[in-house]
Structure formats: C-alpha cells, structure tokens
Amino acid sequence: MTSNVQRSNKGWLIAAATAAAAAILPMTQTTTVSADETSDSNDTHASWRAKTVDDVKSVLLTAGKEYTVQSGDTLSTIASATDLSVDEIAAANGVSDVNSIHVGETLKLDASAAKATNTNVAPKADDTKVNAEATAESADTQAQQADTQAQQADTQTQKVEKTATTSTAQPTTMSTATHAVPTYSTAGNSYPAGQCTWFVKNALSWVGNNWGNASGWGASAAAAGRTVDGQPSTGSVVVFGAGSQGAGALGHVAVVDSVNGDSITISEGNFAGMAYHTRTISASGLTFIH
C-alpha cells in the first residue's frame, strides 16, 4: 500500500510540473512578440526629430524677418532663437494655438509688428500714456528701418557701378554657349530685401525672379535655360549648398567679381549680418550660373 501511494504522489508531482512549464511558455513567447512590435521599422514617428535652438539660429542667419517652418520646429524653439516670446510671435502671425504650427508656414519675426499687434486691443483710460510711448517707439523703429534701407540702396548702387567697371576692365571667361530665350521674369526684384538673393538680383539684372531659396538656384536657373556648371567666370553667380563654406540651411549666393586660378573673389549681401561684403575663397565644389 505504501508503494502505491508513493507512485501516485510522484505521478501527481510530474503532472503539476508539466502544467507549470506549459503556463510559462506563452508568457515567454508574448514577451518576444511585444519586443518585435516595439522595434517595428514601419513606425512613422521614429524619423521625426525636434530641432534645437542652434539649428533654428543657423537658418535665421539668412532668413531675415521671415522664417519658413521646417520639420522638427516648435514655436518655443523658434522664440528661443530670437528676441521674441512665443506670445509675441503668435500675435504677430495670428496663431491661435501656440502648440500647432505647420511645415511650410511663413512666420513674421518683426518685433515692431508683434508689439503693434498686441496693442490693437482698445486701451483703458489709464493705459493712454503707455500706448503713446509704445507708438512713439514703433515710429522710431520704422524710421531707423527706413534709414537702413536707404543706406542699403546706396550700397547697391555703388555695387552695380563697381561690377560694371570690373567686368569691363577684366577679360571674361563666361561660357559662349547660346542661352535659350528666358522663360522667367527679370523685371524688379521678387526676393526679400536684405537677403543674399536680393543682393545678387540687384547686382545682375539677368538673374530671374522667384528662383526660390539660394540652395535651389542652380536647378531653377538650368530649368530657365541658363548654363550651370562647376567653372567660375567673372560676372557669374556662385551657389553655395546648405552648409557649404559656412552657408546656412537655405544655402547662399554671391557674385563672382574675378577669377584667379582655383580662387575667386566674390561680393555678397547678408554675410554675417552685413549688407555688403567681399572675400576671396576656393572655387572647389561650388556651382556657377552663367
């Protein structure tokens, strides 16, 4: 009788151990599937990366008082890269939800515009003096901007005269290829005042309007029938890609004043915040529009 009881107890222990092992296996398999699902390469949110304040500042070097929202931007990051607050940028651009901006949207970064928008609410009697001071400050700012634009206009006139003199005095190496009939407008200047694109268009009347950001000028010019290659020539446009020789995320363009072997002397606008600047650089790796 004792032997039969012992065998019965052993059989029961084996059955219990088998059931416990079977219960553990699904849990192990479930953990493995969950890990695979978490690392799914089709996760559409994995590629999104928030931009830093330094990223935005690098773009603002050429963006002036308008900034085009890019992937990874937030209103808070843009505000941190400027002297404006989130509320000021939102007020100046009619943004009702500061947590919602869209890629491709253009934001005005003009401090005076933000202040003017914030003062549109009807003032209380006690605020009359404050509003009068704000209005006077805005008027002073606008007067300063008008003076700056007048100085830039004078600089551009001098630059055009200098370019004409340089082109006459030095032999040109511009391509002799016949250009197609222009399929773009050359009248006026469609680019934002003070930008490098605006400077080049003012200096070279044959440059087309609406060619986009500086980094895309090569493709736009080629599509319009201009010659685009890697050979510099006096009077041509030099195009810097994003990050090339210190250019920002939107690229940079300048005028080639002279060519000396592998080096070129260029003139440019909006370089390090200056309206007019010249320097001698290497032509290696750059694109030229003729």
pTM: 0.40
- CATH code: domain of residue 262: 3.90.1720.10
Number of domains in the chain: 2
Q: Is the same domain home to 198 and 250? A: yes
Q: Which of 97, 118, 139 is the last residue of a domain?
A: 118
Write the pLDDT tens digit of every residue in 30-82.
Answer: 433 333 333 444 444 445 677 787 877 777 777 667 888 888 888 788 888 78
- CATH code: domain of residue 108: 3.10.350.10
Q: What does each C-alpha distance from 32 to 25, 122, 243, 255 come to in angstroms? A: 11, 64, 43, 61
Q: Tell me how far apart the alpha carbons of residues 186 and 206 are, in angstroms, rounded to a whole number.
A: 6
Within-domain flag for 125: no
Helices 111-118 and 128-169, packing angle to 10 deg: 160
Write the pLDDT tens digit of every residue in 114-135.
Answer: 666 555 544 454 555 556 666 6
Within-domain flag for 142: no
Per-residue pLDDT 10s for the chain (290 aa) are: 555 555 555 555 555 555 554 444 444 444 333 333 334 444 444 456 777 878 777 777 776 678 888 888 887 888 887 878 888 888 888 888 878 788 888 888 776 656 665 555 444 545 555 566 666 666 667 767 766 676 776 666 666 555 544 444 344 443 434 444 456 888 899 999 999 999 999 999 999 999 999 999 999 999 999 999 999 999 999 999 999 998 999 999 999 999 999 999 999 999 988 999 999 999 999 999 99
Q: Tell me how far apart the alpha carbons of residues 223 and 256 are, in angstroms, rounded to a whole number.
A: 21
Q: Is the same domain home to 175 and 79? A: no
Q: Which of 118, 136, 160 is the last residue of a domain?
A: 118
Q: Is the same domain home to 105 and 188? A: no
Structural domain span for residue 234: 150-289
